[in-house]
Amino acid sequence: MLSINIHEAKAKLSEYLAAVEAGETVQICRRNVPVAEIVPLRQPRKTPRPIGLACDSDYEIPASFFEPLPDELLKAFNGELPDPFLDIQDATPELQAAESVARYKK
């Protein structure tokens, strides 16, 4: 890391920018107290980002992955079906709620 004072930065800015382009970090100081840093920008990706964490494996996503979900499953996700855990009638005492289920229903 280069550490320079403001006067030197003004006088030789193009030289320090060339150093930053080469990957160097330049620290600008006022009376030898750091006040700013000039750092190189991250370069944008030249290739598309891989999908998921298994990008190095030979796994391909099947076409069925992109098909719509079955209606029964969509209803369950949207809350249109009753919750099977709240509607337990013949459950053992360990599985029953401590309070009445009717209190929580709208």
Domain segments of the chain as ranges:
2-38
| pLDDT confidence of residue 9 | 93
The predicted-structure confidence for 71-92, as pLDDT tens digits, reads as follows: 988 888 888 887 777 755 655 5
pTM for this model (two decimals): 0.43
Distance of CA 30 to the CA centre of its chain: 37
Q: How far apart are the C-alpha atoms of 29 and 90, rounded to whole Å?
A: 75
Architecture of the structural domain at 2-38:
3-Layer(aba) Sandwich (3.40)
Main-chain dihedrals φ then ψ at residue 17, nearest 5 degrees:
-65, -35
Q: What pLDDT score was predicted for residue 97? A: 56
- Tokens, residue 81: 């079906």
Residues 6+ apart with CB under 8 A from 19: 2, 26
